């Protein structure tokens, strides 16, 4: 037993000395050391845990999980007994003084207990090396950056735990540093503890932990100083361990006592689920409260200046609809691009000039009659005569009002054009056709046309049907048949006779009248 104890202590010491980063990489030597230490702690706690089925921690060839489970089997009932004991002590403070007779067994058991728990933590750490290693470091030091060390796997609860632990550790270390005298110290500690209890009822977990730790302290303080260091560490570890285990117990409790309500929860550290639920509920409460309250002025619809606090619009980022395109920022690139475009255009000669749409000569340009300011040379009679003649006989219409010089010039030019066209022999392009209303007379075309074609034609201007106004089949004398000739002669005779009758009638009444007059 002593050898094993020594080996165990040695192992613990070694573990204590290692630096945490080395824990990150799986190390078989370190593993062996840890296992030995765990075994030692387990066996030291064995006397206190009567119900546990295991006599010894079996580590050879076992998985970390399995080792942990063994430890768990031992520690669960142990914790419950400790809790019960603590409650008793809480209810009957006088008993604390009675406790002062320290049993070496108890003392040894405690450190062993502590060591065991510490070892359990170590085994835990092999599953979650980061966490435990950091925890150890924190505990060794005064716990500065626990959040970083803590793994996300364990969640926020552990952070809380560690915070609590740090506070507790500080307290404990302070407390331990003050005095060694038992009763005096105990009373002081007790008083402090009681005050704390009165102030923070919400943190009964931590208080319980404190109590547990202090109970441990009470028992241990009478011991040698040699063990002080260890005890510190062990106590700290114990706290953690206990907290963890309490946590587990708390979980169990919530499992069984869900219906009992918040009170039960508050008694212990709330489990992860409970904490989540709490958070949710607080969020819900918050949101409901916000909904019930009147909205901020930014959330209301149309808000006049009177309805909002002064100068509040200055503080808020207001969103405006800008219907105007933002003015382009003229940077060097923009100018360069523009200049490039200009140069390119100039080189290619593509300009966006506005070109006048060509106006087609759609209708005949009206002859603009210019007003003659001078006294007309023709008399009024001649004027009307001309008008009359124009009405009757369109061809002999005189040229419209133009200067004679102009007329002469136009005639000369036309003659010239004709000659030039004649040079090209039928290949002249006629003037663009402009619809012009004019009277066509049945005059030989040659006489009318100003530009005589090279080939002289006898064609008349009017078409035959326009000339001839008769109906039916017109035949010449030679073409007629006998019957037709006869018919023609008969018609002629008839007409002649009719005229004769008319003439005779005309003469007859005149004669009759004259005869009457005379008579």
Partner 1 sequence: MQSNQESSSMEVDVATSEQKVLPPKPKFEPLKPHEMSSGQVQFRKVSVPPHRYTPLKKAWMDIYTPVYEQMKVDLRMNLKARKVELKTRHDTPDISNLQKCADFVHAFMLGFDVIDAIALLRLDELYVESFEIKDVKTLRGDHLSRAIGRLSGKGGKTKFAIENASKTRIVIADTKIHILGSFANIKIARDSLCYLIMGSPAGKVYSKLRAVSARLAERF
Q: Which residues contact 372 (CB under 8 A, 6 or more apart)?
A: 401
Q: Is 282 or 407 the residue whose CB approaches partner 1 more closely?
A: 407
Cβ count within 10 A of residue 389: 13
Query: What are the CA-CA distances from residue 67 to residues 22, 34, 39, 74 (Å)?
Result: 21, 11, 10, 11
Angle between helices 204-221 and 64-91 (to 10 degrees): 90
The span of 167-175, 202-210, 381-389, 402-410 binding partner 1 (CB under 8 A) equals 381-389
Q: Is 336 or 383 the residue whose CB approaches partner 1 more closely?
A: 383
Cβ count within 10 A of residue 329: 6
The pair of three-digit structure tokens given for residue 226, joined into one six-digit string? 């040699």
Report the site for partner 1 in 34-63 (rule: CB under 8 A): none
- List the one residue from 91, 311, 327, 374 that touches partner 1 (CB under 8 A): 374
Q: Is 140 or 382 the residue whose CB approaches partner 1 more closely?
A: 382
Contact 233, 118 (CB under 8 A): yes
The span of 2-10, 57-65, 204-212, 370-378 binding partner 1 (CB under 8 A) equals 370-378
Q: Is 377 or 425 the residue whose CB approaches partner 1 more closely?
A: 377
Considering the rule CB under 8 A, would residue 364 count as an interface residue with partner 1?
Answer: no
Q: Is 384 or 468 the residue whose CB approaches partner 1 more closely?
A: 384
Q: Is 325 or 369 the residue whose CB approaches partner 1 more closely?
A: 369
Please state the closest distance from residue 379 (CB atom) to partner 1, in A. Answer: 3
- The Cα–Cα gap between 161 and 150 comes to 10
Report the site for partner 1 in 392-431 (rule: CB under 8 A): 394
Considering the rule CB under 8 A, would residue 290 count as an interface residue with partner 1?
Answer: no
The span of 15-23, 249-257, 262-270, 367-375 binding partner 1 (CB under 8 A) equals 367-375
Query: Taking every pair of C-alpha atoms in the chain, what is the biggest distance, in angstroms?
Result: 202
Length of the chain equals 519
- The Cα–Cα gap between 151 and 128 comes to 8
- The Cα–Cα gap between 148 and 440 comes to 115
- List the one residue from 375, 425, 431, 471 that touches partner 1 (CB under 8 A): 375
CA nearest to 213, candidates 191, 186, 242: 242
Q: Which residues contact 122 (CB under 8 A, 6 or more apart)?
A: 15, 34, 37, 38, 132
Contact 70, 57 (CB under 8 A): yes
Binding residues with partner 1: total (CB under 8 A)? 27
Report the site for partner 1 in 489-508 (rule: CB under 8 A): 508
Q: What angle do CA 265, 266, 268 make, to 5 degrees?
A: 75
The pair of three-digit structure tokens given for residue 156, joined into one six-digit string? 């926020």
- The Cα–Cα gap between 111 and 236 comes to 11
- List the one residue from 183, 201, 263, 369 that touches partner 1 (CB under 8 A): 369
Q: How far is CA 118 from the centre of its chain?
A: 53
The span of 65-73, 130-138, 384-392, 476-484 binding partner 1 (CB under 8 A) equals 384-392
Please state the closest distance from residue 411 (CB atom) to partner 1, in A. Answer: 23
Considering the rule CB under 8 A, would residue 288 count as an interface residue with partner 1?
Answer: no
Residue by residue, DSSP assigns 462-517 as S-HHHH----S----TTT--HHHHHHHHHHHHHHHHHHHHHHHHHHHHHHHHHHHH
Considering the rule CB under 8 A, would residue 383 count as an interface residue with partner 1?
Answer: yes
- List the one residue from 368, 423, 455, 483 that touches partner 1 (CB under 8 A): 368
Q: Is 292 or 380 the residue whose CB approaches partner 1 more closely?
A: 380
From first CA to last CA, the distance across the chain in angstroms is: 201
| Helix (H), strand (E) at residue 34 | helix 28-45
The span of 53-61, 119-127, 385-393, 465-473 binding partner 1 (CB under 8 A) equals 385-393
Considering the rule CB under 8 A, would residue 373 count as an interface residue with partner 1?
Answer: yes
Please state the closest distance from residue 384 (CB atom) to partner 1, in A. Answer: 5
Q: What is the DSSP letter of 145?
A: -
Considering the rule CB under 8 A, would residue 376 count as an interface residue with partner 1?
Answer: yes
Q: Is 201 or 366 the residue whose CB approaches partner 1 more closely?
A: 366
- List the one residue from 72, 173, 252, 382 that touches partner 1 (CB under 8 A): 382
Considering the rule CB under 8 A, would residue 280 count as an interface residue with partner 1?
Answer: no
Considering the rule CB under 8 A, would residue 510 count as an interface residue with partner 1?
Answer: yes
- List the one residue from 32, 298, 390, 410 that touches partner 1 (CB under 8 A): 390
Considering the rule CB under 8 A, would residue 285 count as an interface residue with partner 1?
Answer: no
Contact 450, 413 (CB under 8 A): no
Q: Binding string to partner 1 for residues 313 to 352, with x set by CB under 8 A, is what?
A: ----------------------------------------
- The footprint of partner 1 (CB under 8 A) covers 366-369, 371-376, 379-385, 387, 390-391, 394, 508-510, 512-513, 516
């Amino acid at each position: 037993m002593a050898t094993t104890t020594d080996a165990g202590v040695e192992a613990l010491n070694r573990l204590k000395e290692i630096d945490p980063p080395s824990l990150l990489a799986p190390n078989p030597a370190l593993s062996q050391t840890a296992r030995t230490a765990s075994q030692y702690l387990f066996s030291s706690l064995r006397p206190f845990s009567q119900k546990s089925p295991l006599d010894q921690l079996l580590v050879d060839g076992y998985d970390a999980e399995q080792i942990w489970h063994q430890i768990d089997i031992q520690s669960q009932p142990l914790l419950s007994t400790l809790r019960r004991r603590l409650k008793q002590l809480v209810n009957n403070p006088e008993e604390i003084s009675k406790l002062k007779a320290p049993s070496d067994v108890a003392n040894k058991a405690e450190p062993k207990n502590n060591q065991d728990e510490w070892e359990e933590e170590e085994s835990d750490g092999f599953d979650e090396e980061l966490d435990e290693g950091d925890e150890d470091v924190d505990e060794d030091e005064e716990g500065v950056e626990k959040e970083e060390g803590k793994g996300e796997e364990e969640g926020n609860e552990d952070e809380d735990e560690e915070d609590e632990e740090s506070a507790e550790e500080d307290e404990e270390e302070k407390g331990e540093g003050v005095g060694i005298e038992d009763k005096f110290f105990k009373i002081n500690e007790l008083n402090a503890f009681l005050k704390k209890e009165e102030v923070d009822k919400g943190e009964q977990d931590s208080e319980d932990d404190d109590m547990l730790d202090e109970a441990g302290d009470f028992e241990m303080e009478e011991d040698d100083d040699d063990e002080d260091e260890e005890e510190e560490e062990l106590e700290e570890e114990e706290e953690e361990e206990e907290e963890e285990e309490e946590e587990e117990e708390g979980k169990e409790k919530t499992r069984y006592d869900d219906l009992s309500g918040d009170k039960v929860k508050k008694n212990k550290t709330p489990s992860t689920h409970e904490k989540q639920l709490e958070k949710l509920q607080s969020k819900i409460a918050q949101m409901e409260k916000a909904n019930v309250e009147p909205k901020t002025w930014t959330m209301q619809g149309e808000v006049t200046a009177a309805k909002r606090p002064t100068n509040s619009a200055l503080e808020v980022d207001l969103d405006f609809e800008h219907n105007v395109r933002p003015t382009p920022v003229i940077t060097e690139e923009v100018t360069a691009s523009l200049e490039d475009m200009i140069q390119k255009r100039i080189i290619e000669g593509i300009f966006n000039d506005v070109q006048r749409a060509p106006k087609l000569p759609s209708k005949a340009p009206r002859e603009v009659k210019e007003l003659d300011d001078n006294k007309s040379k023709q008399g009024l009679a001649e004027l009307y005569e001309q008008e009359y003649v124009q009405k009757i006989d369109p061809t002999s219409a005189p040229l419209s009002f133009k200067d004679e010089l102009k007329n002469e010039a136009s005639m000369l030019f036309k003659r010239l054009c004709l000659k030039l066209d004649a040079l090209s022999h039928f290949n002249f392009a006629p003037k663009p056709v402009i619809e012009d209303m004019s009277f066509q007379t049945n005059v030989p075309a040659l006489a009318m046309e100003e530009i005589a074609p090279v080939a002289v034609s006898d064609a008349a201007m009017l078409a035959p049907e326009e000339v001839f106004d008769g109906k039916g089949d017109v035949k010449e004398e030679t073409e007629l048949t006998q019957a037709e000739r006869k018919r023609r002669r008969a018609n002629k005779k008839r007409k002649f006779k009719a005229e004769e009758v008319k003439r005779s009638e005309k003469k007859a009444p005149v004669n009759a009248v004259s005869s009457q007059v005379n008579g």
